[in-house]
Amino acid sequence: MNVLVVDDEEVLQDVLTTLVRREGHRPLAARTGEDALAVLEREDVDLVLLDLMLPGISGMEVLQKIRETDPDQVVVMITAYSSIEGAIEAMRLGAFHYIPKPFKNEEVLHTLRKGLEQRRLTSENRVLRAQLRERFGFHQLIGRSKPMQQVFELIELAAPSKSNMLILGESGTGKELVAKAIHHHSRRATGPFITVNSGSMPPDLLESNLFGHVKGAFTGAIASKKGLFELADNGSIFFDEIGNVPIDTQSKLLRVIQEKEFMRLGGVETLKADVRIIAATNADLEHEVRGGRFREDLFYRLNVITIALPPLRDRTEDIPLLTHHFLKRYAQENEKPLREIAPGAMQRLMDYHWPGNVRELENVVERAVVLSTGAVLGEELLPQQVRRPSERLTSAELPTNGVSYRDAVRSYERRLILRALEASGGVQKHAAELLKVKPTTLHEMMKRLNISLETAS
């Protein structure tokens, strides 16, 4: 590693550069503050041994300029005993440590090792943060279409803010990927990112998971437990399908957002948590507010910045890009020789309506890769519903006086769900699998369309 020794005394500089070289590092030398700043401009320096008293600009001024240009730079001050107060002030300004003159060689070596270890850890953390940004960055959100470019721009603008965010979109459009991209492009990127599946657990269990509980709070609470808000402090919590949170829990969630404080179940102590809320839903929350199923004040607290994800059918130009991305990934994972997709197969993918959106396309490509034996993905590897030509509305079916689009879509959606329930014998989990949606999503759709199991039977 590169160590810059800044001292105007020739003997001390020789001693320090010898110690640096003995440790296996490369010493760089400067006699004045101006020379030191010139070296820092042209060299990648890992640690600076800086004398406090220098001719020209002082060591303190050099330290301040270093902190302005590279806040992570490790600077060790060297000072006479009479200038200890100055060294302490230097540490307040960001110096790593100080060594008083006269010094012992072992003391210098010990400080040098600790300082370089600090530099190594800082560099590793920077690399890890870059890798996280790469892993959860925009490349996971694939799309060149105008709607997706607008999504990317909004993420880039809003991610660094402290505001809560609401992500809207159908099931399978990639809401969790957007949430991760927001978190990993924010100032909280080094903090935790925790996902809450809002509708997958009973209210009591959900509250226990969110806020924690104290020992004896309920039957089975044999020990105190931290909640997700405590664990997510200085990070982000992603509420998947926020519309499914029970109304009583919504009021407690509102308190955390407003006051940044909460209590564990059964507890009396008020706890603090600095957490950013990123919520997602495929439901019409304004409709839920009007129906009294979602708190209006919570809705406005969450709906500070909204990102609406387009369904795949509204960005068909992205289908080839997505298909090749998934083809490459699953061919590598399954060690398959697949390199391309046949034009006919691609046309089928372009013509399909994709009710399950990007997640359904990914599943279709993964299935085709697993079943393939050659280098080209052909039509025969696609599932029947994709190969079958899409049913299209003809002009004869469209009344001359028009038709309510919302009513027509609602009617089709209702018929489709009833067919799936009938085919699955009324088992909602199996019906959800047939429709390629989550069971919680199907439950929400049935509630919105007033479908009960009695209706289905």
The pLDDT, as a whole number, for residue 393 is: 44
- DSSP-based three-state secondary structure for 209: helix
If pLDDT is split at 50, 70 and 90, which confidence band does 361 have? very high
- Same domain membership, residue 199 and residue 122: no
In 52-164 the beta strands, taken as DSSP E runs, fall at: 74-80, 97-101
End residue of a domain, out of 387, 416, 448: 387
The pLDDT, as a whole number, for residue 127 is: 65
CATH number (domain holding residue 331):
1.10.8.60
Residue 297 has pLDDT above 80, yes or no: yes
Alpha-carbon distance 184 to 447, whole Å? 35
End residue of a domain, out of 308, 332, 360: 308
Full residue range of the structural domain in which residue 368 is found: 312-387
Asked whether residue 392 is assigned to any structural domain, the reply reads no
CB-based burial, 429-452: b 16+ in 10 Å, e otherwise:
eebbeebbbbbbbbbbbbebeebe
- Give the length of the chain: 457
Residue 276 has pLDDT above 60, yes or no: yes
- Same domain membership, residue 419 and residue 443: yes
Amino acid at 397: E
Q: Kindly report the CA angle at 235 between 230 and 238, in degrees rounded to 5?
A: 90
User: What DSSP element (H or E) covers 28?
Assistant: strand 26-30
- pLDDT tens-digit profile of 64-112? 999 888 888 999 998 876 567 777 888 888 888 888 888 889 999 999 9
The pLDDT, as a whole number, for residue 200 is: 64
What is the token pair recorded at 255? 């308190």
- Same domain membership, residue 207 and residue 291: yes
Alpha-carbon distance 73 to 112, whole Å? 13
Q: Does the pTM exceed 0.75?
A: no
- Same domain membership, residue 316 and residue 304: no
Task: Quote the number of domains for the chain.
Answer: 4
- Same domain membership, residue 376 and residue 441: no
What angle, 0 to 180 degrees and rounded to 10, lies between the N-to-C axes of helices 405-423 and 428-435? 120
If pLDDT is split at 50, 70 and 90, which confidence band does 138 have? low
User: What DSSP element (H or E) covers 50?
Assistant: strand 47-51
- pLDDT tens-digit profile of 188-203? 988 899 999 876 677 7
* Cis preceding linkage at 102, omega within 30: yes
What is the token pair recorded at 16? 């320090």
Measured between alpha carbons, how far apart are the two ends of the chain, in Å? 74
% of the chain with per-residue pLDDT over 70: 91
Give one DSSP letter per residue of 2-25, joined into a string: EEEEE-S-HHHHHHHHHHHHHTT-
If pLDDT is split at 50, 70 and 90, which confidence band does 131 have? low
Asked whether residue 393 is assigned to any structural domain, the reply reads no
Residue 400 has pLDDT above 70, yes or no: no
- pLDDT tens-digit profile of 168-184? 999 889 999 999 989 98
The pLDDT, as a whole number, for residue 390 is: 46
What is the token pair recorded at 325? 């991305």
Q: 153-157, 168-172, 435-439: which has the minimum mean pLDDT?
A: 435-439
Question: What number of other Cβ atoms are within 10 A of residue 49's Cβ?
Answer: 27
If pLDDT is split at 50, 70 and 90, which confidence band does 26 have? very high
